Every structure is written in C-alpha cells, then in structure tokens.
Amino acid sequence: MIPNIKYRFFVPLLWMCLSCNPAAEQPIMSEPVNPTPPRQPDTPATKPFQRSDSLYFTKIILNDSIRKALPKQYPDSVFRIICALNRIDPDKLHRADSLILPSVTLPWMDFSPFPDTVPALLETPEYVVVSYRLQAFGAYKNGVLQRWGPVSMGKRSTPTPTGLFHTNWKSKRQVSTENENWILPWYFNIINSSGVSFHQYELPGFPASHSCIRMRETDARWLYQFAQQWTLDATGRMVIKNGTPVYIFGRYPWGKGRPWFELLTSPSANKLPADSLLAP
C-alpha cells in the first residue's frame, strides 16, 4: 500500500513540476486495478466515513499548460482517479475550467460519499443507489458497500426519473432509441417503457444524458455482472420477479456549482446518511 503523503502546497508544487521529470512524482492516491472485493461486515473497513485527518481538497484553475501537465505528472491510474472525483473522463478534461484535488493517498473506496454499511439492507442481496445531486452510484450487497463511482445523469431538459426502480434486462451492446448512431455498451435497462438505463458513455463533468445514467466502462461492466435481471413468465409479458432494486434520489443544483466542490470546505461535506439511501 502506498503511504499517505501530505501535499499542503500542492498547487504551487504542481506549477513547479510542469518541467520536472514525471518519474519523480509520487501518486496522491491509488485504486485497485481489479474490482473492489466485497467488504465483510466484521472488518474495520465497515466503519462509516473513516477519514484521514490530513485529507483536504484543493481547487486548481485549469489552463492549457496544466491540462497537458496533469496526465504527465501522475501514473495513468492515479490521473483517472482525479478525473473520476471530478465526474469527468480524462479525454474530456478540455471541457473543465477547474478541478478539485485531494491532499493525501487514500484507497478509492475511502473517497465514497456513501456509508460503508446500511443496516436496513442486511437482508437485501443486491441494492443500487444513485445520487442525482452528487452524480454518483453505490452498490450494496447485504448492506455492505461493494463499489461506487461517478455518473452523468439526465440534463436539465431530459432529467433522469427519481424513485424506486429495478434492473430489468441487459445487453452488452444496445443501439439508442434516440439516435441509431449512439452505441450503448454494457446496457442495463431500469425503465422498460422509456428505455432509461445504466450504460457506458462519456462523462463530461456534469449531468448531460437523455435521461439515462452514464458510467465509466469499468463501472458499467461491473454493474452488468452484479445486478440481477427480471424474471418473466412463459409469455414474456408478465414480470414474475423483479431484478435488483435501484433507488434514484435527490436533485442536481442547476446553476449553483458542482456539489463535489463542497469538499473544499470539508472532506466529509458530501457524506450521505444511511437512512437517506432507503426508498420511502
């Protein structure tokens, strides 16, 4: 495990390092290459919202020089985590005017806004939550958080419906009903009548979809295997058993700034209480 490293002067350091050897840089965080293994309820990792005292976030204003420098200063996996914390794909960084950066090395799961355990879900095999406000999803198995990640949900004119839904049917490659040129990999439908689904697609750093929930490829592939499909009767017209529950909640604060930038005031600013993840 990479040790925690304090970057109390991270912004000036970044400027100084624009011409430095990238190999001399130390990563500020790390994420497992393989999917996060299930956390067991009796392990120390289940303590909700454990945070390092030295963790804080810094805002940097982007220009062309910094955009070019960032991916050179960090290993690819670390750079991708920086982008994920800002809900943006690495190749869409040109669209961003600023970023937040964490000060210390932490495992990816420690940055989660979702609690590690939800006692009310201990008897629920699989459960997926999606926070509209935070543009993030979390997946639970018997009440224990298995994975979280960034998403891009419906834009203001085509919002993603909120409420309790279920994963219905899936396809490794689906053609959008909105535009036949839009290919949607790792598609998992949650509203059959309107085609709303989870699927892989670009994350621009804000809600931008036509109602669907866009995900990174690694997250979309993982959810494709994690969630359960519905069970239909012999006619294929009646649902005998629902798939995995999906609770979509909250509102995005249009015109009021990106909610994850609230981490600048406190590293626990975005944390969500367990009872907020339960469908009414």
Chain mean pLDDT for the chain: 84
pLDDT at 133: 98
pLDDT at 42: 34
The crossing angle, in degrees rounded to 10, of helices 64-73 and 76-85 is 130
| Out of 34-48, 235-249, 265-279, least confident range | 34-48
DSSP code of residue 235: T
Give the 3-state secondary structure of residue 60: strand
What does the angle CA 209 – CA 215 – CA 218 come to, to the nearest 5 degrees? 160
Rounded to an integer, the average pLDDT of 130-137 is: 98
pLDDT at 151: 98
pLDDT at 75: 82
Share of the chain above pLDDT 70, in %: 81
> Measuring CA to CA, which residue among 250, 227, 223 is closest to residue 153?
250
What structural domains does the chain harbor?
A: 10-111 (no CATH), 119-277 (2.40.440.10)
Confidence of residue 123 (pLDDT cuts 50, 70, 90): very high
Q: Reply yes or no on whether the pLDDT at 10 is more than 80.
A: no
| Positive or negative: CA dihedral 175, 150, 161, 227 | positive
Residue appearing with tokens 């970044």: 14
Q: Reply yes or no on whether the pLDDT at 277 is more than 90.
A: yes
Summarize pLDDT for 157-168 with one digit per residue, the tens. Answer: 999 999 999 999
Summarize pLDDT for 27-79 with one digit per residue, the tens. Answer: 344 443 344 444 433 333 333 333 446 899 999 999 999 999 999 988 888 88
Summarize pLDDT for 175-195 with one digit per residue, the tens. Answer: 877 777 888 999 999 999 889
Pairing of the two strands 245-249 and 127-131: parallel
Summarize pLDDT for 218-228 with one digit per residue, the tens. Answer: 999 999 999 99
What's the whole-model pTM score?
Answer: 0.82
